[in-house]
A and B are shown apart, each in its own frame.
Chain A
Amino acid sequence: MSSIYITAFIVGGLICVIGQLLFDVAKLTPAHTLCLLVVAGSILDGLGLYEPLIDFAGAGATIPITSFGNSLTHGALAEAEKHGLIGVLTGMFEVTSSGISSAILFGFIAAIIFKPKGNV
């Protein structure tokens, strides 16, 4: 049972290591690093590799941003099966809508309560 914690930690950590290397070694900007990881997750799911990773590492694979790319492809494929080509467009935000909505909502709440500050 407790082994899932260890695999989650290692797999999640490795995804973050890749991000850090893209940042430090490949000298990508934060935005480029973010996009690349999303695209990587999306492609991995298209190849049917991301779901097995989630089964293996749990939150270690669902928490990093690669999971967002996975959800985009996942939703698109699922809806495409039901509704054909148009399903690709409607499906992308089917699974990801909760994440996007909560980002907007919690961002809004935080912006109301807190005033942005610098380093002091």
Chain B
Amino acid sequence: MVGRGLLTFKTLPSISATGVTAGPLEKKSSFKDKFDKVYDDERCGLETNEHAHAKMMEDACMIALSKIDSLPSDADYLLIGDLVNQMTPSNFCATTMGIPYIGLFSACATSVSSLILAALLTEVGMSEIAIAGAASQHNAIERQFRYPVEYGSQKPATAQWTVTAAGVAAITPHKKGFPSIECATIGCVTDLGMTDPFNMGAAMAPAAADTLTRHLSGHGTSVNDYDVIMTGDLGKTGFELYKKLVANKGIDDTKNFRDAGAEFYGKDPSFLAGASGAGCSAAIYFSEIFEKMKIGKYKRVLLIATGALLSPMSFQQEDTIPCIAHAIELTMK
């Protein structure tokens, strides 16, 4: 054991394939060309937003599996999650896939928490193919956590835009030429008393800073050891706060810091402080980061996905927003 919440993977499980699907508005994303499939209809031609949500996840799983010439019946585990109550989109996706399934809720940090569990199952030799990932669908999530999109409620500039996207990765035992999972840090919940669901970035920034410093000190690395350190969905507001918090902890060199939420929609101001949602970090990690590692542009990457662990009920009762960040380190050897 390395330390509390610190994991190392001696067998170096690999991310052998990924699948990323996205909604029509995500054609405005800076990364649109890297997504495997972009739908023309936000409901994917289905009756409800939630059905579309599940369909995006199914398609992402099928795309990832097809890249390693596998069928759902070849996969050992399905470890996915989303933000809808009781995670019904994930549950419906698992029904269609027929893969042994555990639904995971770490809010928008599920992209990394699922990767960590998939890597663990692979590390102990219990899994040949484990599918990990997360997704979100704008209309379904906005309705649940804020207001129905059709209601047309105003949002402040600190608010973030829930992405419509699903990102999954197929984790296998070590495979040469693919990014391998070296180590990870499981986050502690951080709650500094934020209550505003329109400023999630600020709520999540302390959790990201905490997990980053725990990962660096726990695994004996420094920020310069990485080609990129990418947080999940702090957004433009949260990312700036995070860099300040990190500077207070003595880390001034933030040139290799990136944030998936801040970059997702580029500079377009109509998306306010940037992207969020469980599909945000999953879509970027499993497209942009995965591809750049595969071609050798990035050799060592630290992914820190952040999640706001609130429920619609908890914020209506004016509770604070507990936040979490999980980190995973990928290397290309």
Contacts and interface: CB of A to CB of B under 8 A. Distances in A.
A30 B147 contact: yes
A118 B154 contact: no
Contacts of A116: 150
Given A24-B156, A30-B147, A30-B153, A119 B25 contact: yes
Nearest to B40: A120
Contacts of A118: 42, 49, 138-139, 149-150
B140 to A, nearest CB: 10
Given A30-B151, A118-B49, A119-B42, 20 more contacts: A23-B154, A24-B156, A27-B196, A30-B147, A30-B153, A30-B154, A116-B150, A117-B150, A118-B42, A118-B138, A118-B139, A118-B149, A118-B150, A119-B25, A119-B138, A119-B149, A120-B23, A120-B24, A120-B41, A120-B42
Interface in B1-44: 23-25, 41-42
Contacts of A23: 154
Contacts of B151: 30
B193 to A, nearest CB: 15
A100 to B, nearest CB: 19
A117 B41 CA distance: 11
A7 B149 CA distance: 34
Interface of A: 23-24, 27, 30, 116-120
**Which 7 residue pairs of A and B lie closest in terms of their CB atoms, listed nearest first?**
A116-B150, A118-B149, A118-B139, A120-B24, A120-B42, A30-B153, A120-B25
Interface in B137-186: 138-139, 147, 149-151, 153-154, 156
Nearest to B270: A119
Nearest to B156: A24
A27 B315 CA distance: 13
Contacts, number: 24
Contacts of A30: 147, 151, 153-154
B313 to A, nearest CB: 15
A80 B49 CA distance: 50
Nearest to B43: A118
B199 to A, nearest CB: 10
Contacts of B156: 24
A27 to B, nearest CB: 7
B83 to A, nearest CB: 16
A27 B155 CA distance: 11
B271 to A, nearest CB: 10
A15 to B, nearest CB: 16
Nearest to A20: B154
Contacts of B149: 118-119
A118 B147 CA distance: 12
A30 B152 CA distance: 10
A30 B151 CA distance: 10
Nearest to A119: B25
Contacts of B24: 120
Nearest to A23: B154
A27 B156 CA distance: 10
Interface string B260-272: 0000000000000
A24 B155 CA distance: 9
A120 B49 CA distance: 13
